[in-house]
Amino acid sequence: MPHAITIERHILENQRAYPGATGDFSALLYDIAFAAKIISSSVNKAGLVDILGLTGDENVQGEKVQMLDEIANDTMFKALEHTGRLCCMASEENEGIIDIPERFKCGKYVLAFDPLDGSSNIDANVSIGTIFSIFHKVTKGERGTLEDCLQQGKKQVAGGYIIYGSSTMMVYTAGNGVHGFTLDPSIGEFLLSHPNLTIPKRGQTYSCNEGNYSKWEPGIQKYIDYIKTPDTASGRPYKSRYIGSLVSDFHRNLLYGGIFLYPADKSNPKGKLRLLYEANPLAFIV
């Protein structure tokens, strides 16, 4: 690997474009990559060390908590709480914001994350992932507040995800291109494997849970019917590709082109995807 570029080198090279940079943001991205390595190791060993299955608890979303959910959540917190780069965190698994312990210095960034998206697929060995979003602190004072966490998506400093599949890959953007890094387990480093990722201009797949078709609004039903209707001129019908893990479906569509839908329905009239932990960071990548 004579020309291998580590994620650390890539982040530092991008930092040079900002003369006033303190290095805190660069270090935060590398901290997230470090946490991802630990989570990846836990995911890979889950079936061998008896950490598959449910904890018996429910999270704030009303979902049953998997043991790996809890491990991933704790890993993110413990890997980042002491760094001095965050003023607070917000996790899908926690009802309120996660304060930085008083014994540690607070920083100027906010991290929102879904520690393990697609966790209901864990026992079936389906690809799952971590999704994250970074914001600047906007309130006065040292400690982070709820206001710091509940910012508009357009104010994100960075967004990304880590997918744990046949290989572990971290994809992120800081607003200057989307880059993907694959974890080389032999050296324990994320290496640049997909520089300047772009979605193909045209795809021929769609990803959605058609089991909910009868619950959708008529407009959504009509659109799905349309893309399934053969028409050579427009490249229809589209092929259905749905895994049921947001990170996995999004990642495939990012690489190959396609459409992802999780529409509101009668059971979830406001939709099911979380704006802060899922929709914001993935939309920022797109």
With cut-offs at 50, 70 and 90, classify the pLDDT of residue 64: low
In order of start, what are the domains of the chain with their CATH numbers? Answer: 7-197 (3.30.540.10), 205-285 (3.40.190.80)
Average pLDDT of the residues in 34-42:
95
- Position 48 scores a pLDDT of 54
pTM assigned to the model: 0.91
Q: Which residue do the tokens 């650390």 mark? A: 8
- State pLDDT tens for residues 145-176: 999 999 999 999 999 999 999 899 999 999 98
Give the span between the Cα atoms of 171 and 213, in whole angstroms: 31
Residues 64-75 as b or e (16 or more Cβ within 10 Å = b): ebbbbbbbbbeb
Q: Which residue type is seen at 101?
A: P
276 closest CA partner among 83, 141, 89: 89
